[in-house]
Structure 1
Amino acid sequence: MGPDEDLVRGAWLPVVGVEGERRETGLLDVLFGADAVRRLDLPVPTMLPAVLRQVLLPVVFDALGLPRTRGEWGERFAQGGFSDQEKEKLADYLGPRYGDRFRLFSERPFAQVAGLSALNGETKPSTLLIPSVASGNNVPLFSALSEADHLDLPPGQAALWLLHAHCWDTAAIKTGAVGDGQAKNGKTTGNPTGPLGQFGVIMPTGRTLYETLLLNTPVRADGLAAGDRPQWAWDERPDSAAAKSPAGPEWSVRPAGGLLDLLTFQSRRIRLMPAETENGLRVRQVVVCAGDRLALTPQEELHTAWNHTAKPKAGQPARRPRRHTPGRAAWQGLGALLALALPLDGDGVYTSQLLRQTGELLDYRQLPGDFALGVEVCGLEYGNQSAVVENAVADSMPLPVASLLADDDWLRTAILECVEQADRVARALDGLHADLRRASGGEPLPRDKGERPSARFLHAVDGRMRRLLAGLRTIGEDYDMLERAREAWEVTLRRAALREADGLLAAVPPRAVVGRTEKVNGKEVVFRSGKAAGLFHKKLGDILTRLADAVPAEGEAA
C-alpha cells in the first residue's frame, strides 16, 4: 500500500498553518498539530463539515470521550492543544486499534464497500462525486467537463470527495448494487439527499483547528450513548441494533444510534476504483449505490438551527431543521443564529445546540469575553426532485460571543437592531425603485425577476457589518462605545442608501417628474419621482433615528 492511500499518515488534508503556510498532512499529524493549524484549506466550503463530521470529530470523541462538565471542557480549552496523554490515546486509536480501517484501497476500505458492484456491471466516472462537474442529470451551466470526460483524482482528493458524497449527495434514482435485495430493475428509487443536504449547516470556529474541534464538541453529562459506534467500528455495535452494516451492499431506513453514528452516517454505498496511470495511482471510476436513510434529523443534531412549531400536526416533530436562504449573507440571518430561547407562544426559530452551548460556556467563565468566535454557514440548494444541485450557500463571519448570553441581551439586541435597520433600508430602496418605475409608466419588478437596488445596497454595506461584528467582540461592557458604533453604522447605511437612491433618480426619464395616476386597492394614487423621493427620505429618517436630527447629508434633498 502506498502512503497516499493511508489516511492516518498520508498527505491528503490541505491545511493553512497559523503563520499562513500551506501544506498537506495526514490524520494523525493534523490532530497532533491542531494548535498550529489555522484552518483546513479545502476545495469547497461544503467540504468542511464533511471532513469534521465524518473523520476528525468522531475520532476525537471516540478516542478521548466527551467532556462531562463545562469545567472539563474549559480545562481542555485552556490547554490550547492536545496534551501528551491525549496524543497517546489518539495514536493508539489511529494505530493498533483502528489504523488499518483508515485505508482507501484495502480489504476493508474506509467509508466504502469492498467489492461493491452494480447490477448492470457498469462503473461511473469519478465526476459523480463532485456536484460542480457534469454527471448524469446533474449538468452545471459552467462545467469544464462532460460526463464523457475522465477526471483522474489523486487518492487524497478522492477521499475528500468520498466524504462529501456521504454528506451532500443528490437524491432520486441510484444504481442497484449486487447483494442489495431492495434493488429493483437494476436501481433503487426514493433516495433522499445526504444528511447535510436536508438543513443549513452552522459551525462555530476558533483561531486554530484545535479550538474549532472543541467548539464543535458537546458537553454531555452521560457521555456517549452505550453501543454508539462510528462507521469504521460498526462490528462493535450490539447485536440488538437492527441495522445493516455500512461495509455491505444492503441498506436500511433507521434512526441514528447515537452521536458517533450520526456524524459518520453512511448515506451511500460507494467504491472507489483505483487505476495505475502515468501520474501514479488515480481514481477514475466509482460505484455509487443507495445507502442508509436517516428516518428523521434527530434533536441531538449539532450543526443546524431549528424551526419550532407550537402546535405540530399529528406525527410531525415540534422542531424541524432550518435551511439557509440562498442569496443572503450570513449576518442577514443573525435573527436565527441568536435565537437562544424557544418561542413561548406560537412558532419561531431556535438556534443550534453548539451556539447555545458557547454562550453557556462564556456565562460559566470557561471562555473569555473577547474570544474571536467565528461562524461558518453552508448548504446546497437542490432542484428537480433534489436530483441536481442548483446553488451553493456558503459564508463566514465573526460573532461577538457575548451576544450568545441568554440572560444578558443588551449586545444581542443591539446587533439584531443593526441587522433590522439594514433590512428596512433595503426594503425602502426597493419601494423607491417600484414607485419610480410606476412614475415612468412601467410596473414594479416581479418578486423573482430582475436586479433589485436592495441587493446592491446590502452588498455595499456587507464589509462594514463584518467589521462591526469583529469590533464588538472586544467591546466588553463599554456601552458608550456601542452607541458610537451604532451611530457609525447608521452613517454607513445612509451614505450607501443615498448613493443608490441618487443613481435611481438620475436614471428616470423626464416624464417621471409629471408622473401618472394609478388605481391601488380601489383608490387613485399619483406616482411621480419627487413624491417617491420624499417618501423614501421620510422612511430613511424613521429608520436611522440616531441621525434624524443631524444636518442632511450631501445629495439628500429630494
Structure 2
Amino acid sequence: MDVNGDLVHGATLTAVLDGSTQPVGLLGALSEAHRIQRLELPVHTMLPVVLRQLLLPIMLDALKAPRDRREWGDRLHRGRFTEDELARLEHYLGPKGYGDRFRLFDAERPFAQVAGLTALNGETKSVAQLVPSVASGNNVPIFSALCEADELLLKPGDAALWLLHAHCWDTASIKTGAEGDPQAAKGKTTGNPTGPLGQLGLVVPTGRTLYETLLLNTPVVPDGLASEDRPQWAWDERPTGLAGTSPAGPAWSERPASGLLDLLTFQARRVRLFTCDMEQGLRVNRVIVSAGDRLARTPEYDPHTVWQHVAKPKKDQAHQRPRRHLSGRAAWQGLSTLLAMDLPEQGDGPYTSLLLRQIGDLQADEVLSQQYRLGAETAGLEYGTQSAVVENAIGDDLPLPVQALLAQDAWLRKALLECVEQADQAARALDTLNNDLRRAAGGDPLPRDKGSRPSAQFLQSLDRTMRRLLTGLRTVGADDSDLLERGQLAWEQSVWHAATSDADVLLAAAPPRAIVGRTVRNGNKEFVYRSGKANGMFRSKLAEILPRAAEERRATPKEVAAA
C-alpha cells in the first residue's frame, strides 16, 4: 500500500483461496470473488462492515441492483462477474471513476474521513479508540492485551477496517468537539447514539464463495436505486436541496437515509487518522473521532436486521423496529426469529430479515435450489453504562436449510423450531431440578439473575448436535418425511442423553440430607422437597418434552424380551 493508502490495489482485505490466505485490494477481491471462499476478518462484527461500507455499495453502484428474481438467478448461475461487469467495476474503481476517493491518506479527500479535522482542544488520541477490544478511555475490556498507556500501531489496511467499524459500531460516549462543528460545546459533543449497526440484530447470508455471498446480500430492487441515492464517496453528486451535511466536513446532522447506498455507507462519525513512519513502513497511531451523522430511524428496507413487529405502535413510531440478538445465546437458539417468515397474525412478534425472506421467495420460484448450502452469520454488540462501553460481542454462524425459509411451506420450519423448543424446555427442567435439590438440601433456589446455571452448560453441549442436524436437513425434501422423522428422533435421543447425564451429576453432588429432604410452608400450603422426588419429576417432564425418545426407550425393553 503506497503513502496514499490505496484501498483499491493495496492489502486491504485478507482472502481465503484454496485453504490459504492472500492479501487483496478492493478490486482484487471483486475480480477474484468467484475463487475466494471467504474473507478472513478479525471479529464477527467486521463482516457486515466490509459488506455494507465497501463491497456491496461498490457492486450495486457500478452494476446496479437486479430488477427481478430471474435476473438475480442469472447472476447466481453464472457464478462470477462477466467480462463486461469486471470492466465496469475496474472503471468504477479506476482513475476515471472513483479510484482516487479510496485513498486512506489523501490530503484533500481521505477515504471515510474529514481532511484537516482538528479537535477544539488541539489533541489527538490513541488509535485504540477505534478497536473495542483494546483499552481506551472508559472502554476497558477485562482481557485486553494492551493498556491505555501502550501505543497501538495499525497497518493501513487494518486501520481502514477499524475506521469503518467505528462508523458502524462505535459507542455512544462523549465525542471530541471538532473545529467547524457548530454543535460542539466546551470541547465536546454529547448525546451521541451508537453507530447505526449497534441497535440492530444483524444476519448476513453466506454462500460457497465471496461472489455468492455478495449476491445473497444483494436485494432485488424492482424500480432500481433512486437517482439521489449515492454512497458516501459520491456525496457531492446528490441533488441540491436534500437534507444533510457532507461527510467530508466537520459539521453533522440528524437525517433519514436517502436510499440503500446512503444507508450502507452511512457516516456516523467524523474521523481523521494520523500516521507515523516506522521501520516496517507507514503505521496509523493517532486518531480524532468526533460526532457524525445520526440516523433518524432504521428504514424497513435495511437488508440485514431482524425485526420486532408491533401491532399497535405508539404515536409516531413504526410497526417494525430492529430486534437485537441476545447475549450468551447461540444463533440456533434464535431460530424462531430467523425463520419468522410472515408477520405475526395477532399481536407482537419477530419478523426475519429482508434478505432471508428474499431467499425464501427465490427458492419458491425455483431460482435457488432447496439443497443450496446456505449459511448465516449473526453479529451484534452488547453495550453497557449508557452505551458508552462495549460489554460483549455477539457473533455466530450456522447452516440453514433453504427449504425452511419457504413462507408457504412450514413443515420443515415447524420441525426445526420444535427441536429448538425441546432444547429450551429441557434446559429449564434441569434448572428446576437444580433448584429443587438446593431446597431439599436446606438452601434456596438460585436468584434469577445470579449464579451459574446447569442450563448454560447443557445448551452449549448441544451446539454441535444442532449444527449437524441443520447441515443434514439441507438436503431434506417435502417427500422425505421418514428422513425428517429419523432426524428428529436422533435429536431427541441426543438431548435425552445430555440432559440425563447432567442430571446425574447434579444428583451425585447433592448432600445426603437431600435424600430425607425438608418441608417448606408457603402460606397455607406445604411443599415437600426430596432428591428422589425431584429426580422423578425431572424424568417425567423430560418424557413429556421428548416423546419420540421416551417412546423409543419404552419400546426397547419389550423388543429385547420378545427376542
**TM-score, scaled relative to structure 1:** 0.98
Q: For residue 508 of structure 2, what is the aligned residue in structure 1?
A: 506
Matches within 5 A, 1:434-513: 434-477=435-478, 478-513=480-515
Secondary structure of the corresponding residue to residue 110 of structure 1: coil
Secondary structure of the corresponding residue to residue 235 of structure 1: helix
Q: For residue 543 of structure 2, what is the aligned residue in structure 1?
A: 541
Distance of aligned partners of 1:9 and 1:539 in 2 relative to their CA distance in 1, 3 Å threshold: same
Code of the residue aligned with 2:357 in structure 1: it is R
Secondary structure of the corresponding residue to residue 273 of structure 2: strand
Q: For residue 67 of structure 2, what is the aligned residue in structure 1?
A: 68
Q: For residue 185 of structure 1, what is the aligned residue in structure 2?
A: 186
Question: Sequence identity, in percent?
Answer: 64
Residue 351 of structure 2 is aligned to residue 350 of structure 1:
yes
Structure 2: 5+ residue runs without aligned partners?
A: 557-563
Deviations 1:149-201 (A, max 9, x none): 11111101101101101000000310000100110001100000000001111
Distance of aligned partners of 1:176 and 1:108 in 2 relative to their CA distance in 1, 3 Å threshold: same
- Is the 1:4–1:12 Cα contact (8 Å) retained in structure 2? no
Q: Distance in 1 between matches of 2:524 and 2:315?
A: 42
Residue 2 of structure 2 is aligned to residue 2 of structure 1:
yes
Deviates more, 1:4-13 or 1:99-108: 4-13
Q: For residue 270 of structure 2, what is the aligned residue in structure 1?
A: 269
Residue 527 of structure 2 is aligned to residue 528 of structure 1:
no
Residue 95 of structure 2 is aligned to residue 98 of structure 1:
no
Deviations 1:82-134 (A, max 9, x none): 11010011001000210000000112110000010100000000100000101
Give the number of aligned pairs: 553
Secondary structure of the corresponding residue to residue 203 of structure 2: strand
Q: Distance in 1 between matches of 2:493 and 2:426?
A: 12
**TM-score, scaled relative to structure 2:** 0.97
Code of the residue aligned with 1:543 in structure 2: it is I
Shift in Å, 1:387: 0.4
Deviations 1:413-452 (A, max 9, x none): 0000011111111111111001000001111111111111
Matches within 5 A, 1:105-504: 105-106=105-106, 107-477=108-478, 478-504=480-506
Secondary structure of the corresponding residue to residue 421 of structure 1: helix
Distance of aligned partners of 1:532 and 1:62 in 2 relative to their CA distance in 1, 3 Å threshold: same
Q: Distance in 2 between matches of 1:246 and 1:325?
A: 32
- Is the 1:129–1:165 Cα contact (8 Å) retained in structure 2? yes
Q: Distance in 2 between matches of 1:99 and 1:76?
A: 25
Secondary structure of the corresponding residue to residue 36 of structure 1: coil
Distance of aligned partners of 1:522 and 1:203 in 2 relative to their CA distance in 1, 3 Å threshold: farther
Q: For residue 518 of structure 1, what is the aligned residue in structure 2?
A: 520
Code of the residue aligned with 2:525 in structure 1: it is K
Q: Distance in 2 between matches of 1:549 and 1:152?
A: 62
Secondary structure of the corresponding residue to residue 172 of structure 1: coil
Secondary structure of the corresponding residue to residue 196 of structure 1: helix
Deviations 1:235-279 (A, max 9, x none): 000001121000000000000010000000000000010111222
Q: Distance in 2 between matches of 1:80 and 1:426?
A: 43
Secondary structure of the corresponding residue to residue 396 of structure 1: strand
Q: Distance in 2 between matches of 1:333 and 1:547?
A: 24
Deviates more, 1:511-520 or 1:432-441: 511-520
Distance of aligned partners of 1:290 and 1:482 in 2 relative to their CA distance in 1, 3 Å threshold: same
Deviations 1:190-242 (A, max 9, x none): 00000000111111110110010000000011111220000000000000112
- Is the 2:244–2:253 Cα contact (8 Å) retained in structure 1? yes
- Is the 1:3–1:9 Cα contact (8 Å) retained in structure 2? no
RMSD: 1.2
Structure 1: 5+ residue runs without aligned partners?
A: none
- Is the 1:4–1:156 Cα contact (8 Å) retained in structure 2? no
Distance of aligned partners of 1:522 and 1:388 in 2 relative to their CA distance in 1, 3 Å threshold: farther
Code of the residue aligned with 1:508 in structure 2: it is A
Code of the residue aligned with 2:539 in structure 1: it is H
Secondary structure of the corresponding residue to residue 392 of structure 2: strand
Deviations 1:331-363 (A, max 9, x none): 000000000111121111100000000000000
Q: Distance in 2 between matches of 1:189 and 1:417?
A: 46
- Is the 1:252–1:293 Cα contact (8 Å) retained in structure 2? yes
Secondary structure of the corresponding residue to residue 191 of structure 2: strand
Code of the residue aligned with 1:7 in structure 2: it is L
